């Protein structure tokens, strides 16, 4: 789901940048266009916005991880993850237990 969101944001960014760059071209370098013809960049931006709204409606707010709330984990569960020399916390061990930094589990 995160990769879909990244692709959508990237597509929106590229379409906005394309539209902005078209406005900066000089009049002599542009081909004459028909006034009835809608611009492709605006259609693409509207389609991507609709896709993004649809993707956001599928992802509920209750699923999102809040930065200030760390979930609890039981004894024996994995409580940390090693990223090179650093150890990142996945969850907080229950009272009376601690996260073992060698096994990366609550004991």
Q: Identify the three-state secondary structure at position 54.
A: helix
The domains located in the chain, with CATH, are 72-106 (4.10.40.30)
What pLDDT was estimated at residue 75? Answer: 92
Residue spans of alpha helices (H) in 1-81: 2-24, 40-58
- Report the distance separating Cα 74 and Cα 78, nearest Å: 9
What pLDDT was estimated at residue 77? Answer: 92
What pLDDT was estimated at residue 100? Answer: 92
- Report the distance separating Cα 57 and Cα 77, nearest Å: 32
In sequence order, what are the beta bridge partners of 72?
A: 92
Which token pair is 64? 């999102």
pLDDT one-digit tens code per residue, 37-92? 556 677 888 888 888 887 766 655 554 555 677 889 999 999 999 888 898 888 99
């Amino acid at each position: 789901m995160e990769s879909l969101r990244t692709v959508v944001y990237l597509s929106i960014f590229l379409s906005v940048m394309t539209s902005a760059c078209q406005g900066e071209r000089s009049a002599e370098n542009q081909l004459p266009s028909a006034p009835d013809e809608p611009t492709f960049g605006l259609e693409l931006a509207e389609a991507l916005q609709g896709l993004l709204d649809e993707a956001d409606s599928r992802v509920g707010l209750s699923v999102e991880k809040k930065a200030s709330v760390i979930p609890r984990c039981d004894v024996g569960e994995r409580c940390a993850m090693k990223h090179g020399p650093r150890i990142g916390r996945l969850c907080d061990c229950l009272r009376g237990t601690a996260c073992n930094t060698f096994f990366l589990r609550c004991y």
